[in-house]
Amino acid sequence: MRLPIIKHALEFIEANDEDWVHETIELLEHMADAKGLKDEELEVIGELMSNFYGALDVHKSVKEGTPQKEALNNFMKRVVGSIN
């Protein structure tokens, strides 16, 4: 996951609507089933989906009253903690 991509997706959610991101994830899931995709292409799709799910998670925290910077830091701590 990349924090700059998550932040950029957050900007989109704030300017538009989180439903667009949910629908984009659905489209990416569908595209991942396409025949003939290379492993590298599947990795890119997976990385995009991870970043979008991260943005939705951070957005949820912000809606619940957590400042955005703190929500981003908490999210990244959870991600790093789950990797270790």
Nearest to 27 by CA among 45, 1, 12: 45
CA 72 – CA 23 distance, rounded (Å): 22
Task: Provide the whole-model pTM.
Answer: 0.90
Going from N- to C-terminal start, the domains of the chain cover 3-83
The pLDDT of residue 84 is 60
Distance, CA of 37 to CA of 61 (rounded, Å): 35
- End-to-end Cα separation, the chain, in angstroms: 15
Query: For the chain (length 84 residues), average pLDDT per consecutive 10?
Result: 94 96 98 96 97 97 96 91 70
Q: Which of 76, 79, 75, 78 is CA-nearest to residue 61?
A: 75
